Structure 1
Amino acid sequence: MAHRSRPPQENDPVHSFLTHAARIMQETQFIIDSLPNVEMFSVERALRQLHAVHYVLINLDDDWLEQDEVEGLIDSVVASGLSLERFQTTLPPPRNIGTSRDVHTGGRPRYVLDLDHAIELHAMGNPWDAVADALGVCRRTLYYHLERAGLSPERPAFTEMDNETLDEHVAEISLKHPLAGKSIVQGHLKAQGLHIPVVHVQESLRRVDAIGVIIR
């Protein structure tokens, strides 16, 4: 996708700011993608940086930048900040997510597992041991439920794709869903029949992020 290139200027403060802001947004996105397994001080530091970037953006006056571009950047910063603030104010999720007990079977209650959620977690790159732990059961129990449902524990083979082609797909998804993170983007790719490792999706998102596109 073609885009304008900013004329090279030495000691251009706006270009320097956008470069620094892009790095902050990349680091912030990494923190968001890692939730809830992050230290609280990392969240607080990222929020302070986002507030600073937001302040500069709303007061930015530059003839080269289009207003809708600036507003798009502001929206991205605000969305990232809201994600971190929600994490700050929300209690940690309970264990055994997607697991309940069937109390109508008689005798020992039987587990009822959310197998769709289990497969989604596994497709994101989590090993079955970790998925089973998240559901509050052992791996053997999880395998048993998968087998009963006629589902295979094998992960689909990943689609071979070069970075340029992947970036085109990810950029198209990001344009339609600008606030989507790596898991959501990976889900859209999967819906297209493309099985891409989540780490590759995350790297692609960093390459096609909004601020990075403007300063390149």
Structure 2
Amino acid sequence: MKYFTILLVLLFMSCNSNKKISENKRNKIISELDYIEKIDQKYAGIPSEDLFKKYGQQKAWEFFLAKRDSVSNDNQSRIKKLFYKYGYLGFNEVGKDNTTKFWLPIQHADNDIEFQKQMLQELKKQIEIKNAKRNEYAMLEDRVAVNTNQKQRFGSQVTYNSNGQAVPRNGLIDTLNIEKLRAGYDLPTFKDYYNNMTIMHFEMNKEVLKKQGITEPMLYK
């Protein structure tokens, strides 16, 4: 019975993956994706200065992270409903810009790794038919790897060493061919990406790093 149920779910998903979307429904979907992206990005960074002033450092972060978790769960629910109804929303369904809005909550669904894995397989199918962005597949693959305590293939997920320098979280599978791998999936060079992340980290944590004697970003040469 269990395997029969799984088969029915897969068949249902397969049918929906080719479902035609009317212009009216497409516009409604895009409006939904616009909302999802806006609220996702609002809580993707760090608390605002207003929150720090109102609550102080610790309370501001507690409030911000609780709100981010709530937003993430709501966005995941919205994306799942869209996926089970229409399949993966790629270029053909919603356009290049809007497919990224669909992908964002999947990338951020770290509390539902099985969902991320499922979407990774769907995204792989989409890039094979040129209906999704290769860099989004690479970043989701790395995210799943990190969330399952594995090394990354593309190095898109970073952490920071004691000098404030960006380093690959969990390490890389193949350091020698990292640039070739990244180029093949439309990612910027390793050096440019890691230098940009190092600079951003320095700017966001400048006062703390300066107290540690770090007065400028430590960049890769």
TM-score (norm 2): 0.29
Q: Please say which structure displays the higher CA radius of gyration.
A: 1
Q: Which has the higher contact order (CA 8 A, sep 6+)?
A: 1
TM-score (norm 1): 0.30
